[in-house]
């Protein structure tokens, strides 16, 4: 298990890099390969939890739309309507996202 992984508060690779950079800048080791200051990380791929939740929700909704389209094509219009309305009613999608 990686030191920065957790199911409660996961770190992205960029955040992990920033923490390591801050630590070794404050506590430099006696020997290091890098000459000069540590490289900075611009954090281009750091995504907020809100953005991640919105993306997961959009992907999950797209999956439900596809499943409902297949059900409609199979002649199960009522089941597709019930399934999609159930998806819309469940608060926070109960872990489906």
pLDDT at residue number 90: 73
Segment 35-82, tens digit of pLDDT: 777 777 766 666 677 877 888 888 888 888 999 999 999 999 999 999
Using alpha carbons, select from 48, 44, 57 the residue that is nearest to residue 17. 44
CA-atom Rg of the chain in angstroms: 22
pLDDT at residue number 7: 55
The pTM (predicted TM-score) of the whole model is 0.47
How far does Cα 54 stand from its chain's mean position?
9
Segment 2-27, tens digit of pLDDT: 555 555 566 677 778 888 888 888 88
pLDDT at residue number 47: 67
Residue 1 has pLDDT above 60, yes or no: no
């Amino acid at each position: 298990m990686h030191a920065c992984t957790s199911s409660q508060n996961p770190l992205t690779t960029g955040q992990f890099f920033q923490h390591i950079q801050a630590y070794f800048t404050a506590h430099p080791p006696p020997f290091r390969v890098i000459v000069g200051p540590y490289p900075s990380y611009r954090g281009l791929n750091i995504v907020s939890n809100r953005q991640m939740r919105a993306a997961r929700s959009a992907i999950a909704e797209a999956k439900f739309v596809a499943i409902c389209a297949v059900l409609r094509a199979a002649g199960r219009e009522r089941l597709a309507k019930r399934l999609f309305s159930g998806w819309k009613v469940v608060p926070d999608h109960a872990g489906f996202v």
